[in-house]
Structure 1
């Protein structure tokens, strides 16, 4: 059966249609949040990081990870390019003073940002820029940073750093800087959200669910995985979002094993479709949601139904455990036990933190617990609860995921896009 032979009524599902633009027109979604929400979120985020720097007895933290720069200062110039071309960096001091080192010619992009005290031209020294002059450029870069540290902090030469290539580390140490691992500072700071951050995240989830509604309506036989996946990109970008971290949408036999990326594989009626949004949406927040349904929205066959019900059971069991004060160890001890036949296809984690991207904590499933670290769920952590169910080498897989905020008494879901009816 081709797409034009499937009854139109099949796709007029009011549950999903509710996530599109409420005025019924095919238009972008526009955020209703006032500017004050973003301003308050910025202030909270920067202070969280400043407090972490001071607690670690560091003079400052040097940020190169574009997600950390976005978190601390809300600057977002060419973030994806910056992930593999380290041209953009920032110094955030223990007294709150922040210096952005901007792409030359882009200094004006920080205008009006109350998070930034100074803007200076950056001194990028990665090989594409510098080639045989790399060592010379690194020396100039290190001289400038050390001079700033001495001018602002006197004798404290402890500098936290989130990410830095070896020549930079060597040059700073040669100048008497004590390099402190900064990822712990940024991850812990990012893990607890303010009320305003939650409002911003809820809006990203809203946009993501509008994109998921488009995926739902375009899950038709005869379409390729890539054609279907493009609908999420489309809704995200036109509604003020930014990018997708992965390409995880597959259909039918390509759902097993998981982690294959979308391709030109053509969907057939009744195939299971699974996806993981990994969407960086408006305001730079992540909506990390997964759903599975059949192509053409046919009734699931018995095997698909068994997989889906097991995935729902895992999600709901683990979700019911979550509350502030619960230790990671206790969560693991009480978590859903995967039937032996599904162990081979299990997902990599039971849940993980989420903010401006996937973040701390990352809690493995019970068969992998020996590799876990210790910790405790805190109020206003946001996490994604995961399930991947399938039999190794047999049939399809079902992928489900929901995004929640931890409260004193439980977990509040941030997404509401419905599960499939059995």
Structure 2
């Protein structure tokens, strides 16, 4: 069974379990999940240019960007390919007429459903499209929950793709690490990670989280033209999407140049690593998210205002639920559920020091198994990780 068929089968089982017999999505990630057909992923994030209708008991119809229909010709999970109508008012075309015609197409297709063809789960369409579908008698609900539920547990084929992505991204990051040199800019170094990923048929990097020196505090400064100096910390979060659209998400922090880490750098690195390892040790099948959060490593008071916004999150085609927040004893825990075998979870750690104005970002990726966990991101934690220098861990 191919990966595409595996995913479609899981999506349909999830639809049936949620009593949803038809889903319509323009989300480019979920279009890939449902069909396996990749096309202009970044462009498709700008509007509803490609979309797919999946029936639990019926066809899978892909509306593809004009001129690209051949891309789905051999897709085992696609029943029919149609040219996507223009549903975007900003285009200046006859979008209103196109929208009405599209709504009629969808309504006709979902009439084959056992319950009479009215209920439709939908996501990522503008209101004029949903208005047109309702005018055709469709009863709309959200498709986001359907896809999130389906994507939560990974198939065997998905796990193989994620391991392959991890190998590619790890090799690219090792090359990037060895290019962290005084005088280079953040983006010059970060470009090495891109080159290694794209050269191996990877997709993209979804954030710009590569920062050096004083820009490592607070976190979430995007990579820019700042010059790196000897002795600077360099934080990078891969946030990479590899071949087939699967994520490899882990973070490392290095020291630039030949200088050994300062006592302050070594101290916050040690704390970040302790936080990461402690929280990773709590992962277990059946453990509730709330129990995990309650037992998480307590960030020292001095550093607590700058901690990472969540303790852990899911991963698949992108970062995905659950996003597990820090436990607040004064409020009910907002996320229900528990870790399940087949989930891929990323553990986050950041220690930011307001006195030295620098921070350390670490993250690892784990698979939840029946027996416990499997570490997927095996690149060592080392401040001076270059092959030219002695490794400290």
Distance in 2 separating the partners of 1:56 and 1:195: 23
1:47 partnered with 2:9: yes
1:308 partnered with 2:269: yes
Name the counterpart of 2:345. Answer: 383
Task: Choose which of 399, 404, 412 in structure 1 pairs with 2:361.
Answer: 399
Task: Choose which of 253, 263, 269 in structure 2 pairs with 1:292.
Answer: 253
- What do residues 124-182 of structure 1 show as CA deviations (whole Å, max 9, x unaligned)? 21123345x33222211111111221245561311111322111111111221111111
Count of aligned residue pairs for this structure pair: 383
- Residue 341 of structure 1 aligns to a residue whose secondary structure is coil
1:283 partnered with 2:244: yes
Task: Choose which of 312, 317, 326 in structure 1 pairs with 2:287.
Answer: 326
- What do residues 26-59 of structure 1 show as CA deviations (whole Å, max 9, x unaligned)? xxxxxxxxxxxxx532222111111122223233
- What do residues 296-323 of structure 1 show as CA deviations (whole Å, max 9, x unaligned)? 1532111111110111111101111111
CA contact 1:257–1:393 (8 Å) conserved in 2: no
1:416 partnered with 2:378: yes
CA 151–192 in structure 1, closer or farther in 2 if over 3 Å, else same: closer
Name the counterpart of 1:78. Answer: 40
Report deviation, 1:394. 4.3
CA contact 1:279–1:286 (8 Å) conserved in 2: yes
Name the counterpart of 2:313. Answer: 352
Q: How does 1:174-323 map to 2 (within 5 A)?
A: 174-296=135-257, 298-323=259-284
CA 149–215 in structure 1, closer or farther in 2 if over 3 Å, else same: same
Distance in 1 separating the partners of 2:152 and 2:21: 22
Higher relative helix content: 1
Distance in 2 separating the partners of 1:177 and 1:170: 10
CA contact 1:91–1:98 (8 Å) conserved in 2: yes
Name the counterpart of 2:101. Answer: 140
Distance in 2 separating the partners of 1:196 and 1:40: 8
CA 96–324 in structure 1, closer or farther in 2 if over 3 Å, else same: farther
- Residue 296 of structure 1 aligns to a residue whose secondary structure is coil
Structure 1 range deviating more: 395-404 or 48-57:
48-57
CA contact 1:50–1:96 (8 Å) conserved in 2: no
- Residue 357 of structure 2 aligns to a residue whose secondary structure is strand
Runs of 4+ in 1 over 4 A off after TM superposition: 151-154, 367-371
Gaps of 5+ in 1: 1-38
1:59 partnered with 2:59: no
CA contact 1:130–1:137 (8 Å) conserved in 2: no
Gaps of 5+ in 2: 383-391
TM-score (norm 1): 0.88
- Residue 140 of structure 1 aligns to a residue whose secondary structure is helix
- Residue 350 of structure 1 aligns to a residue whose secondary structure is strand
What's the C-alpha RMSD, in Å, of the aligned pairs?
Answer: 1.6
Distance in 2 separating the partners of 1:53 and 1:62: 12
CA contact 2:154–2:343 (8 Å) conserved in 1: yes
Name the counterpart of 2:57. Answer: 95
Report deviation, 1:197. 1.2
- What do residues 52-101 of structure 1 show as CA deviations (whole Å, max 9, x unaligned)? 22223233100110101111111111111001131100011012521111
Distance in 1 separating the partners of 2:110 and 2:259: 64
